[in-house]
Structure 1
Amino acid sequence: MKRALFVIALLVLIVVGYVLDLLHDAGEFRRVTPVLPGQCTPVYGAPGAEDISFDPITGMAWISSDDRRAAIDGHPRRGAILRYDPNSDARPVDAWPEAPSDFHPHGLSLYTDDSGRQSLFVINHPGESLFQGRTGSGPAHTIEVFDVVDDRLVHRATLADASMISPNDLVAVDHERFYFTNDHGSAPGWRRTLEDYLRRPWANVVQFDGREFREAAAGLSFANGIQLSRDGETLYVAEVTRNRIREYRRDPASGALEERRTIDVGFGVDNLELDPASGDLWLGGHLKLLTFTRHAADASIDAPSMAARLRLSTEPPELTPVFIDDGSALSGASVAAVRDGVLLIGSVFEPHFLVCRSGS
């Protein structure tokens, strides 16, 4: 009997210890002290602005927008890729109004070559949602490829492959090649739940070389945002549930990746945006991950948000918070994009994104 009680007590201690460790890593004990980069104004007309990238030529922002609340409520609405001028009072404009009804965009990546030609790559979930499971009979996930012509999107190709288990974000290498992240290695169901709460490293990075898909990196926990350095020789991948970024050495010729180091950032980093002027990374993400999961299920629950700049020119890299909010201004931040002193912060679920202007 004593032996049995000892085993039970030991198991209870292990479970309690794991739960406390999970709560700590998820940031649930963190005190949220607000930080503002200036005047921040909400802009409506772009629900679920999960990913945002600035156009280096026009200064416009490309926004991936999908009303995930409506989908969870059983009334899915067509998503959109929007163009937004941060120097205008105009609302965001749909750049692909002919998109099909099952268009549900997620991560996006804009590639611009030296001649000014541009291609936009977009993760799409026509048949499956991270928050709903299977929703259609066709491909669960696709990658849509567009040419940017006169500020409009001209659809070029739809790519689908068995490697797209749960694609989240992507980064273009050129007009044909890219990498994308699978945030999970398992399909919706009990295995995915275990993957989340046990933080199993089953996510990966997949490379498309213009002809075929192949795994480029494995062993990640909830792989999310992904970015390339300016010289194309370093790849960065966010691991949300581990509060860190993986850095890989990239072979430009073959595209092969070799892990170099991990960078701890101390919060649930979601998307990554590259500052083309400095080479720094701008991060958007979640200060309390478990609170964010509650926010996903209930819009009345605020989830604290953070945006930060990661300076890669210092050793070790220096993280500077530029926006911290308890969720009242913006819950569930997922991206921070900067250009000419204007910071755009998007989120997974909110009906608006924020425009913040430094010094105002």
Structure 2
Amino acid sequence: MKKFLIGLGVVVLVLAGFVVKTLADAGQFKSLSPHFAGRCTPVSGMPGAEDITFHPTLGYAYISSDDRRATMAGHPVQGGIFRYDPASSAPPVLLTGAFSQPFHPHGIGLFVAPDGTQTLYVVNHAAPGDNRIERFEVGADGMLVHRKTVKDPALVSPNDVVPVDAERFYVTNDHHYPPGVMQVVEDYLQLAIGNVLYFDGKGFREVVNGTAYANGINHSADGRTVYLAQVLEKSLTVYTRDVDSGALTQRLKLPLGTGPDNIEVDARGDLWIGCHPKLLDFVAHAKDLSGATRAPAQVLRVKASGDKLEAEEVFLDDGRQISAVATAAVSGKWMLLGPVFDKDMLRCELP
């Protein structure tokens, strides 16, 4: 009996230690002090504006919108890609009204060719287990024209995509397992078994493995540096890209102390990252169909100077103004904050 009690005590201690570690790793013990030196106003009409990317010179943004609450409730609503100019009073414009296939967009990436031709790649969770990458071109009227669908068994759980030209792109698999019990196990045991894929115009190959919830991905203006956000590792990884082969070689890693989501790069080369400082709050927010359970929202600006990276917290909210920001996209004085689930995104004027 004594040995049994001792063994039971050891098991209890191990489990307690695991719970405390999980809470600490998720950021649940953090004390948050909301702040932002600028001002923000809500913009409606684009629920679940999970990813946003600005045209590099024209001042407007492309926004990936999907009502994930409706899908979770069993009544999926067709998602869309919108164009929005924060400097204008005009409302957002739906660009994918002519796209009739099932469309539930997630991450997006824009390539602008030297002649001005715009190619937009979109992660599309068309149906459970049916993950696709859609390629659109911007027509003369500004609407998106669908050009290609890429499907492959390697797209297990695609999250974000970044093109390097009109034909080639990188895409992150945030999990090794598809949605289900094993994916939950993967998360709570913090298993680093995700990856990054490279599509060379003909097929996929793995270029990074062993990632802990690979999420946002982007690259520098010259295309020679690739940035990767890993949520569970709470880090930003920087890779040197071989322009010819697409191979990625890790150069450095910056601990962020928070769960980074999407990465956007501004005209100066600075990185803007939407983050989830309390990951279990995000999980609770994601599961609540009513949206009443809120999660904090955070934005980091990472200044990159060669191999020197410096992170600064620009925005922090406790979830009252906006919950679970996935993306912070910046152009000039404007910052657009896109939430994973909220009905409204935020249009912010930087100080």
Structure-2 separation of matches of 1:97 and 1:259: 40
Give the CA deviation at 1:241: 1.6
Structure-2 separation of matches of 1:163 and 1:314: 33
Give the CA deviation at 1:285: 1.6
Classify the secondary structure of the residue corresponding to 1:350: coil
Q: Deviations over 1:24-44 (max 9, x none)?
A: 121111111111131100000
Give the CA deviation at 1:282: 0.5
Give the CA deviation at 1:101: 5.5
Give the CA deviation at 1:13: 1.9
Classify the secondary structure of the residue corresponding to 2:232: helix
Q: Is the 8 A contact 1:25 1:243 kept in 2?
A: no
Structure-1 separation of matches of 2:7 and 2:218: 47
- Aligned-residue RMSD, C-alpha: 1.3
Classify the secondary structure of the residue corresponding to 1:308: strand
Q: Is the 8 A contact 1:37 1:356 kept in 2?
A: no
Structure-2 separation of matches of 1:281 and 1:295: 26
Q: Which amino acid aligns with 1:201?
A: A
Structure 1 residue aligned with 2:301, among 309, 327, 331? 309
TM-score normalised by L of structure 2: 0.96
Classify the secondary structure of the residue corresponding to 1:187: coil
Q: How many residues align?
A: 348
Q: 2:274: which partner in 1?
A: 284
Give the CA deviation at 1:300: 0.5
Q: Deviations over 1:153-186 (max 9, x none)?
A: 1111011011100000011010000000001101
Classify the secondary structure of the residue corresponding to 2:19: helix
- Structure 2 residue 231 is the aligned partner of structure 1 residue 231: no
- Structure 2 residue 152 is the aligned partner of structure 1 residue 161: yes
Describe how 1:193-204 pairs up with structure 2 within 5 A. Answer: 193-204=184-195
Q: 2:85: which partner in 1?
A: 85
* 97-106 or 63-72, which deviates more: 97-106
Structure-1 separation of matches of 2:313 and 2:86: 22
* 216-225 or 29-38, which deviates more: 29-38
Q: Which amino acid aligns with 2:297?
A: S
Structure-2 separation of matches of 1:35 and 1:318: 19
Identity %: 46
Q: 1:318: which partner in 2?
A: 310
Structure-2 separation of matches of 1:358 and 1:171: 26
Q: 1:131: which partner in 2?
A: none
Q: Which amino acid aligns with 1:357?
A: E
* 30-39 or 299-308, which deviates more: 30-39
Give the CA deviation at 1:348: 0.4
Give the CA deviation at 1:314: 7.1
Q: Deviations over 1:1-24 (max 9, x none)?
A: 444333332222222222211111
Q: 2:166: which partner in 1?
A: 175
Is there any run of 5+ residues in structure 2 with no aligned partner, and where? none
* 299-308 or 237-246, which deviates more: 237-246
Give the CA deviation at 1:321: 0.9
Q: 2:110: which partner in 1?
A: 110
- Structure 2 residue 220 is the aligned partner of structure 1 residue 217: no
Structure-2 separation of matches of 1:17 and 1:311: 37
Structure-2 separation of matches of 1:75 and 1:91: 26
* 44-53 or 262-271, which deviates more: 262-271
Classify the secondary structure of the residue corresponding to 2:280: helix
Distance 1:320 1:314, change over 3 A: farther
Q: Is the 8 A contact 2:196 2:209 kept in 1?
A: yes
Classify the secondary structure of the residue corresponding to 1:246: strand
Describe how 1:1-360 pairs up with structure 2 within 5 A. Answer: 1-100=1-100, 102-128=102-128, 134=129, 140-150=130-140, 151-275=142-266, 277-298=267-288, 299-313=291-305, 316-359=308-351
Q: Which amino acid aligns with 1:335?
A: T
Q: Deviations over 1:264-287 (max 9, x none)?
A: 111111000011x32121000211
Q: Is the 8 A contact 1:227 1:273 kept in 2?
A: yes
Distance 1:255 1:314, change over 3 A: closer
Consecutive aligned runs of 4 or more in structure 1 exceeding 4 Å deviation: none
Q: Deviations over 1:240-260 (max 9, x none)?
A: 122111222211111111222
Q: Which amino acid aligns with 1:343?
A: M
Classify the secondary structure of the residue corresponding to 2:9: helix
Give the CA deviation at 1:59: 1.1
Q: Is the 8 A contact 2:66 2:105 kept in 1?
A: yes
Q: Which amino acid aligns with 2:237?
A: R
Q: 1:137: which partner in 2?
A: none
Q: Is the 8 A contact 2:252 2:307 kept in 1?
A: no
Q: Deviations over 1:120-156 (max 9, x none)?
A: 000001112xxxxx5xxxxx11100011123211111
Classify the secondary structure of the residue corresponding to 2:13: helix
* 340-349 or 25-34, which deviates more: 25-34
